[in-house]
A and B are shown apart, each in its own frame.
Chain A
């Protein structure tokens, strides 16, 4: 069964600290993996997208990694800001177009 699991479910960190969010998937065949940021009451916004041959992709303070062998991805946030408080969603697309969404990690950044 195609699944995307994210951990932790929620995370609280202090402003200025770094954090890493995890994503494990059992999707096959694999096409690409995306990370989205979703603010409360808003739609998700794309942060990064990685294909099978890419193992790292950065977008400002966000860096995503992909290990296609172990089927794991991580999203690292550097020097967190209050505006980073949001849900972060890992999404894996199969060889067709079907996308499987993780349930997300809810990040709270405290001053």
Chain B
């Protein structure tokens, strides 16, 4: 089955620690995205990538970093600079940035502070 796999499902971060969330897709999509979801708010874009070795900041990129070394993979690192990291993180992909086709989402990683 084609889809997006996010891991781990749950993650806990200690003070001053960086953590990395994994996102893998086998849909052969060029574009990938990271969103943050907080209660009562719409999804907010953290980073997006149109193609391998290229990525751009979204609306709330501060305290986060990404890489896109392979088409299938788009890991997100939550750094210690992100002071309020507790949230539900969603990775998504689409055929490309401008297609009318829907984004496909993974099942998310819930990050909490210890």
Contact = CB atoms under 8 A, between A and B. Distances in A.
B39 to A, nearest CB: 9
B42 A32 contact: no
Interface stretch (A14-22, A36-44, A60-68, A70-78): A36-44
Given A42-B108, A43-B106, A49-B102, A103 B97 contact: no
Chain A at the B interface: mostly helix, strand, loop or mixed?
strand
A101 interface: yes
Interface in B88-109: 90, 92, 97-98, 100-108
Q: Sort chain A's interface into a size bin.
A: 20 to 34
B81 interface: no
Interface string B35-74: 1000011111100000000000000000000000000000
A43 B107 contact: yes
Interface of A: 4, 9, 31-32, 34, 36, 41-46, 49, 51, 89, 96-104
